[in-house]
Amino acid sequence: MAKILEAGFKINEQHKQFLQSLCFSDYEADRRRNPEREKGTCEWIINHKQFKSWESDERASILWISGDPGCGKSVAASFLIDHVRTSTDCSPPAFYFFKDDSDRQSSATKALCALLHQILSSEDRKPLVEHAMTDYTNWGSELFESLDKLWAIFASIISDPMCGKITIVLDALDECKEVPRARLMGHVVAFCNAIQPRSNQVKFLMTSRPYAAVQKAFKNFQMIRLKTEDSVDEIDQDVKRVIDARIARFAENMDIREDSRLASLQGHLHSKADRTFLWVSLILDMLDGSADCSYAELEEIIDTENPSIDALYEKILEKAKDTKKAQRMLHFVVSAAEPLTVAELNVAWAVKVGDGAQEYKLEDRMFPSPERGIKEVCGLFVRIIENTVVLVHQTARGFLVRTAPGSPLERPPGKWKHCLDPLESNKILAEVCLSFL
């Protein structure tokens, strides 16, 4: 590698082709799928003794931040990326945000491709692309489907002194497909063990739910764990900051100066601040869309004994003006291999199935204002981010979709939990695709 630099490295067509082939996704857009943090939140993490221990460790180190669903792990990961970027002498961190609603975003190989692309896109690291050229010449496009080969290239690059100090951030490991995740984590642990005795320039930061499978992967390495599920006071304060910021914005947007009902709602939310960020955010989303939800209804939801995310999801979907329409659209959303764009969902919605030779104009059945039409059908249960339609949270999929496809399910009439059979969802989307063709 030193000889390459001495000779003056010039990127050639093969290098360019390799770099272009790594770019399967817009990883910055994937990061932006997560809500922006409110001022003052997440900052307790960088002062936590476990974080400081990881940050100051001179050896290869892994920080695992675990937390329950909806407690703000992905928002924290995004904050920590910015923290590392601005507060250390490391090169810009490379990151990947896993999401289980996307074949691409739940792929370990695509994660490695994204990490490699970020590292090699830096002008002073471009010569490191030479580490990949032998395998790329031998394997071509097959290389990008091989987790082991990609890892070997990745490991050789981050071990090269030219790479400099770097932090690798992997968010929501539990949303990566299980078997590849185990192999990826096995590679990470083996790599850290191999370079432990030497001065280290690589740190890993990972977030996930507190799953035993993730913990088991670290059994051969003494990683550092920060349990947000045990940081009750810190999470409680962050949730209160979110409540105060959102209520203040709502009051400003609605030109409300003093309102005892709003103050009462804020106080009630504070008293329940041990709930997750997700629970609080959904309540506040309902407030923002308060044309469909009164103060009294919100107070009733908050005061419910043992309130839960599931109960809140039921409440949101109860407001669907047409249950059949809402279910049909949700079938499309949960069965798509990748999140559908607004335009794609609008077309799927308009396609008629089983019409035979009957002709109709697709445009006549489409929403004239697609974003508004989608939101009117599904309400707060979906979000439109970067022109794609996604469920409000990962937990929303688990709420809607049955875990045993094709099995009969006894549930009270009008209830939404596990109302979607994945086999039926796939069938509905397949029929629409065939009819469209």
pLDDT in tens, 141-172: 999 999 999 999 999 999 999 998 899 999 99
Checking if the pLDDT of 290 tops 80, the result is no
Give the model's pLDDT for residue 365: 86
* Cα within 13 Å of Cα(12), Cβ side: 5
Summarize pLDDT for 320-350 with one digit per residue, the tens: 889 999 999 999 999 999 999 999 999 999 9
DSSP 128: G
Summarize pLDDT for 115-135 with one digit per residue, the tens: 999 999 988 899 999 999 999
**Considering only CA atoms, which of 331, 339, 326 is closest in space to residue 424?**
331
Report the predicted TM-score, pTM, of the whole model to 2 decimal places.
0.89
- Counted residue by residue, the chain has a size of 437
9 or 87: which leads in pLDDT: 87
Checking if the pLDDT of 375 tops 80, the result is yes
Q: Dihedral through CA 245, CA 246, CA 250, CA 252, nearest 10?
A: 20
CA dihedral over 288, 293, 297, 301, signed as positive or negative = negative
Checking if the pLDDT of 200 tops 80, the result is no
What 3-state class would DSSP assign to 356? coil
* Domain extent listing, the chain: 2-230, 233-307, 323-436
CB neighbour list of residue 343: distance below 8 Å, 6 or more residues apart = 370, 387
**What percentage of the chain reaches a pLDDT higher than 90?**
65
Our CA angle for 287, 291, 294, nearest 5°, is 60
What 3-state class would DSSP assign to 71? coil
What is the residue whose two structure tokens read 């929501």? Answer: 172
Min mean pLDDT across 224-238, 317-331, 396-410 is at: 396-410
Region 2-230: CATH code: 3.40.50.300
Min mean pLDDT across 51-60, 175-184, 289-298 is at: 289-298
